[in-house]
Amino acid sequence: RTSGPLVEVAELTVRYGAATALDRVSLTVGVGELVALVGPNGAGKSTLVDTLSGILVPASGSVTVRGRLAHVPEGRQVFGDLSVEDNLRLGGWRIGERDTAAVYAVLPALTELRRRRAGLLSGGEQQMVAVGRALMSRPDVLVIDELSLGLAPLVVADLVRHLRELNAWRGVAVLLIEQNARLALDLCSRAYVLEAGRIVAEGTSAELAASSLVSDAYLGGV
């Protein structure tokens, strides 16, 4: 890894035909940082994730990833017929990693679920499997797409606790892509607000929570 942020998106523009989905978007995720990208439906969040993953090609600007990036996809997408253990192993397949012990060490709640069929787990447990599967590739940064989607607040709080531990113990950086601004600002130290393909606000979570733009639009005005 050369020096510089783990993820560096610079003046990124992405188009679908004539429609501009991302318009000169810039953001960074530093080593060990917890960063959120918040925005409503259609803001361009999935487009950014797909560009980070190399699925979409920029019209202009650039995406630089230094180190290993793993993606926790929206909707979890665990293999329902496979056990938790086998789901984890699939996550290590690309780098030839079969040893799941390191994942159980940071996500101990998965240990007792290891023989269970992933499709029969609760949504929160499946999200934990999806995070564990991503960790198998020993990433420097996790891109987590809609962590909280469809999950009860208590389940989300538990996942957030695990992500904090993961970050503190292993220094894994996180880019959290979220519609739930309250959760995003709670977990992350910095955040960007994306609207209609543009970054309309950025700053520390404390700054954004205090700004009327964010609080009125995303935190119900509190």
* Residues at the contact surface with ligand ATP, assessed by CB under 6 A: 16, 19, 21, 39, 41-47
Given the complex with ligand ATP, which of 75 and 153 has the nearer CB atom? 75
Given the complex with ligand ATP, which of 57 and 120 has the nearer CB atom? 57
CB of 15 to ligand ATP, least distance (A): 9
CB of 11 to ligand ATP, least distance (A): 18
Give dist(CA 219, CA 49) in Å, integer.
24
CB of 52 to ligand ATP, least distance (A): 12
Give dist(CA 194, CA 158) in Å, integer.
26
Q: Reduce the DSSP state of residue 99 to 3 states and report it.
A: coil
DSSP string, 109-128: GGGGGTTSBGGGS-HHHHHH
Given the complex with ligand ATP, which of 104 and 192 has the nearer CB atom? 192
CB of 111 to ligand ATP, least distance (A): 33
Given the complex with ligand ATP, which of 21 and 25 has the nearer CB atom? 21
Question: Regarding beta strands 7-16 and 60-65, do their DSSP bridges make them parallel or antiparallel, or are they unpaired?
Answer: antiparallel
Tell the burial category of 67 from Cβ atoms under 10 Å away from its Cβ (0-12, 13-18, 19+).
Answer: middle
